[in-house]
Amino acid sequence: MLDIFVNETVLWMFVTAVAFTFLGRYTAYRAAVEDAVSAVVDSLIEDGYIKTKGKGEDMEILKHWEHNNDT
């Protein structure tokens, strides 16, 4: 009876399940970190702590010594 549950196929399925579980958790963690960083940067821009130039996809973050001459 034990031979049914402990064989090469079951072992490979277990290893695959563990590997993809860790891959999924890593991917979800990276996505959460990217979302958090994006939200923080957007908030800092809206509050005026970070100077920017341009709008939308063309927005650039300016260095602290650069000035935005568009305003």
Residue 43, Cβ density class (10 Å: 0-12 exposed, 13-18 middle, ≥19 buried): exposed
Residues whose CB falls within 8 Å of the CB of residue 44, separated by 6 or more in sequence, listed in order: 50
Q: What is the pLDDT along the chain (71 residues), one digit of tens a residue?
A: 667 777 888 889 999 999 999 999 999 999 999 999 999 999 999 998 998 888 888 989 888 888 776 54
- Determine the pLDDT at residue 7: 83
- Determine the pLDDT at residue 8: 86
Contact 59, 52 (CB under 8 A): yes
Rounded to two decimals, what is the model's pTM? 0.64
